[in-house]
Amino acid sequence: MDIRGLGYIGLDVADGDAWRVYAGALGAMVVDAAGDESFGMKIDDRPYRVLVQPTDGEEGLAFAGWELPDET
């Protein structure tokens, strides 16, 4: 498999508001992502690179997407 790079990640977090502040401190644009309390952190031409999802459960990495050379 020819992985080119990390495309995006999703994070489950307890305090979404704190992550909104953190996104601003990083210089990322906060964008609505899923129509709920989730939001994306936009840093380039992609819709977002980090999806932040509030959770009442365990915090951490929810998913990751990899950049590959083609669909196959």
For the record, the structure tokens of 36 come out as 């709920």
pLDDT (tens digit per residue) in 14-43: 999 999 999 999 999 999 876 788 999 999
Helix or strand run (H / E) with residue 40: strand 39-42
Q: Say how far apart CA 72 and CA 67 lie, in whole Å.
A: 12
What is the mean pLDDT of the segment spanning 39-62? 95
Give the mean pLDDT of 36-56.
94
